[in-house]
Amino acid sequence: MSEIRYSKEHEWVRVEGDVATVGISAYAQEQLGDVVFVELPAKGRTVAAGGEAATVESVKAASEVYSPVAGEVIDVNAALNDDPAIVNSDPLGRGWFFKVRLTDAKEVAALMDEAAYAQFVKGLA
């Protein structure tokens, strides 16, 4: 399994070849509470690094999900349409949101590794 990198907006990305899988961090889903709805991007849509890509709604709030990297959406996690709570139970695994074919793989290097993200989150408390 590839290393997970994180954005300051609490999205994660795991890259395999030229494809990046994107989801929200465990911290983000904890802050949201019980996820009740997810709006996923359309396949074929181009997303910009830092641009809005999806929406996640919980019993507490609705939040945008930003793409940590630029690329074309090549797959979405349709299972979230029927069971958005997967985001709560497995945010770094089965709770992924979408996959993009990377425009620039170097963007991944600008994201935080797990240790840096843990330090970042600690600073938010």
pLDDT digits (tens, 9 = 90+) for 19-76: 999 999 999 999 999 999 999 999 999 999 999 999 999 999 999 999 999 999 999 9
Dist CA 5 CA 112 (whole Å): 5
Structural contact between residues 67 and 23, judged by C-beta atoms closer than 8 angstroms: no
What pLDDT does 106 receive? 93
Given a cut of 90, whether residue 125 has pLDDT beyond it is no
Dist CA 62 CA 38 (whole Å): 9
Residue 62: CB partners within 8 Å, gap ≥ 6?
55, 56
What pLDDT does 83 receive? 97
**Topology of the domain comprising 4-103:** OB fold (Dihydrolipoamide Acetyltransferase, E2P) (2.40.50)
What pTM was estimated for this model as a whole? 0.95
Q: Quick one: which H or E segment has residue 44? A: none
Q: What is the mean pLDDT of the chain?
A: 95
Parse the chain into domains and list their residue ranges.
Answer: 4-103
Other C-beta atoms within 10 Å of 41: how many?
Answer: 20
